[in-house]
Copies of this chain bind each other. A is one copy, B any other.
Amino acid sequence: MRILQISSSSFGGRFFNFQALSLSRSPLCFKSASSMASFSEDSLRRALAEKQSAVESQGNSVRALKAAGASKHDVDAAIEALNALKLQKASIERNLQAAVSGAGDGSAVTKEAFRQAVVNTLERRLFYIPSFKIYRGVAGLYDYGPPGCSVKSNVLAFWRQHFVLEENMLEVDCPCVTPEIVLKASGHVDKFTDLMVKDEKTGTCFRADHLLKDFCNDKLQKDLAISAEKAAELRHILATLDDLSSEELGAKIREYGITAPDTKNPLSDPYPFNLMFATSIGPSGLSPGYLRPETAQGIFVNFKDLYYYNGNKLPFAAAQIGQAFRNEISPRQGLLRVREFTLAEIEHFVDPEDKSHPKFSEVANLKFLMFPREEQMSGQSAKIIRLGEAVAQGTVNNETLGYFIGRVYLFLARLGIDEKRLRFRQHLANEMAHYAADCWDAEIESSYGWIECVGIADRSAYDLRAHTDKSGIALVAAEKFSEPREVEKLVITPVKKELGLAFKGSQKNVVEALEAMKEEEAWQMKDNLETKGEVEFYVCTLSKAVTIKKSMVTITKEKKKEHQRVFTPSVIEPSFGIGRIIYCLYEHSYYMRPSKAGDEQLNVFRFPPLVAPIKCTVFPLVQNEQYEKVAKDISKSLTAAGISHKIDITGTSIGKRYARTDELGVPFAITVDSTTSVTIRERDSKDQIRVNVGEAATTVKEVTEGIRTWEDVWSSFPHHSSASADD
């Protein structure tokens, strides 16, 4: 029986970081980044402390002069000097304040305001709705309203096209309700926890690390009087928050006298809270189950069938889109940290001895922001690297991992994620699970900072081995040799009689330990026995070393013919947090522009047609039976062409109607202003072309589906300019 060697933090190196903000996931990265920033902050704190003592000593001088009845001239001069010092101190304070609040140019405030503007638009237009709002909602649960639901279904359809269809993946669809044994095997039952503290009087629960983090941030930002040393200590805590044990967290909370927010009551010691929603399967109450925290396990448990389905051939990939659940202690950060979310996960199974990818050349020349481990450690920032180079130089562990990084990049770029705010960050050694070969996160910059949206990990054989061990079903692959191969095999034969005499009741433990020796260890023992006749040997299950004599074991090599190689495949796992990608897409797509009259700011989402919730609107310019008939005919053609659209025959001004749909990110509007031809308006340029009624639907279909570009269409049709059109 193998021991699960997952610590809470290395476990977090898995997908679960999706639910955590990057800030808390990549300590060293942020540590180095913040130590860059804190260079000036530290000197400012020192300067402030110096200035403060200068002010105090000058104050003393003034008082002394006055007491001594010095001349008005001398006293005034001293006061003037004091005021000058106070002004200098105030200036340093302002600079320090700016430095600690993140940017120094007030961009933190701007980010907040920007986010508020986006979120207001999203909520008002029902992109999302806090779930069960009429019952005052539930923290961390959100509905997708009509346009949000469309965006999500467009993103998922494209995901299916880009990954499943294009790569011939085997898609599966497994239940959310999962029996305990599966999640016991995966390690979730034991290790998928956050540390929690309770208000000792009211029982309210908090995440221990959040309270400590809030305390440190608060102190750093609001208490300008703390010393540079103290500030460094707090920053160090922030940087290593994820590595703190339950005891260390508790000690810090006690040391700083942190109490419950609001009530200020004392807090309990931190203790682990499992983040899975628990339930019971069937009526007996004897079959515990959980809502799956990820979709991946459903794929792993089906490995054997899927491998068979694929003709017993590697490599192949399986994929799953579905809901996952995480019972957050106290969800914060809106749509980025939720209790139920949609994941899209791929498990690409490969021979660990061959991780090349036949289509790697197709992505090798892509260039984008990468942030390798070394750059993070040395305090540099992300830089543009050619993917082929990153793989060739070993920065990215292997071609298959590299291939998926490239495909993820293409996927996000096609959705409309701003490439300048997208980077691939490599996990640091202490972030990765011990079994992982390499791990990269696609991080997208939003008003909350850099958000992990896709994790791309080479998890080696860990998951399949875990389920093999627990279920007793071998989840392995085989490579058949074209002709049998002769191999040398290590044979360890414990001499039970001798061992029995020497160790009596412990004989079994010693025998097992001897048989479990790895090749290298065994050869070393053989050497030692031959040269020294005996050797000290540590028996794990006895927790002590015993003396093994030459007579107690024989270690030899045997030649055997093998017809195949049986092995546990490695798995490369790109795992997509769909809700996070969509939220970042909203931020990247949103902008404001003045109305034509210049009296108000209008909201626009610049979604590419692929993503836009509705592709086109149809507006009769004025309320008029003939125009309405034309509009309805065009609407029918659009429906037949499978183009989602909306027809608006209200008498609202055309400018208002454009503004309303710009706010939904609708890329094209057809306006009916005659019975023979209509105009088509493009959202961002506001340019309009004139086309015949019969061509309208086809033209919109072509630009929507990317068959033609707007530029192309723009140069093929007469342009329309109407002073009144855009109100």
**A contact residues vs B (CB 8 Å cutoff):** 125-126, 129, 131-135, 138-139, 141-146, 148-150, 152-153, 157, 160-161, 165-166, 168, 170-179, 181-182, 196, 203-205, 273, 277-284, 287, 289, 291, 298, 301-302, 304-306, 309, 311, 318, 323, 325, 327-330, 339-340, 467, 470-471, 473, 475, 639, 642, 644, 646, 650
Q: Are A177 and B135 neighbours in the complex by a CB distance under 8 Å?
A: no
A174 & B278 in contact (Cβ 8 Å cutoff): no
Shortest Cβ distance from A300 into B: residue: B134
**Contact between B133 and A642, CB atoms less than 8 A apart:** no
Q: Give bound CA distance, A639 to B359, whole Å.
A: 15
Report chain B residues within 8 Å CB of A282: 139, 205, 327-330
Instruction: Check A174 against B143 for contact (C-beta < 8 Å).
Output: yes
With A135-B179, A311-B650 in contact, is A171–B143 under 8 Å at CB?
no
Cβ contact within 8 Å between B467 and A283: no
Contact sample, A vs B, 21 pairs, CB 8 Å cutoff: A131-B175, A132-B301, A134-B467, A135-B470, A138-B179, A138-B289, A142-B175, A145-B305, A146-B318, A165-B642, A176-B323, A176-B325, A177-B277, A177-B325, A196-B283, A204-B284, A279-B291, A280-B327, A282-B328, A282-B329, A291-B291
Known: A131-B298, A135-B182, A273-B283. 17 other contacts (CB 8 A): A131-B174, A132-B178, A132-B182, A133-B302, A134-B475, A138-B289, A139-B282, A144-B172, A145-B306, A146-B309, A153-B171, A165-B639, A165-B642, A177-B291, A196-B283, A279-B279, A283-B327
Complex: how many Å from CA A177 to CA B277? Answer: 9
Q: How many copies does the complex hold?
A: 2
Contacts of A318 in B (CB 8 A): 146
Determine the residue in chain B with the shortest Cβ distance to A471: B134
Which 3 pairs, one residue from A and one from B, show the smallest C-beta to C-beta distance? A144-B173, A134-B471, A146-B170
How distant is the Cα of A203 from the Cα of B287 in the complex, in angstroms?
13
Q: How far apart sit A344 and B327, CA to CA, in the bound complex (Å)?
A: 26
In the bound complex, what is the Cα–Cα distance between A224 and B488 (angstroms)? 71
**A172-B145 in contact (CB<8A):** yes
Residues on B with beta carbons closer than 8 Å to the beta carbon of A196: 283
Give the residues in chain B near A142, CB-CB below 8 Å: 175
Contact B327 A281 (CB under 8 A): yes
CB distance from A700 to the nearest CB of B (A): 15
- Residue of B148, B205, B280, B284 touching A283 (CB-CB under 8 A): B205
B135 and A173 within 8 A (CB):
no
Cβ B642 vs Cβ A161 within 8 A:
yes
A619 to chain B, nearest CB (A): 14
Give A308's nearest chain B residue, CB to CB: B126
Q: Out of B141, B281, B298, name the residue touching A339 (CB < 8 Å).
A: B281
The answer to whether B152 and A173 touch across the interface, beta carbons within 8 angstroms, is: yes
The one of B145, B173, B175 in contact with A149, judged by C-beta atoms closer than 8 angstroms, is: B173
Q: Which of B165, B175, B179, B305 contacts A644 (CB 8 A)?
A: B165
Please name all residues of chain B whose beta carbon is closer than 8 Å to the beta carbon of A182 when the two chains form the complex.
132, 135
Question: Which one, B301, B302, B327, B642, contacts A145 given CB within 8 A?
Answer: B302
Instruction: Report B-chain residues with C-beta under 8 Å of the C-beta of A473.
Output: 134
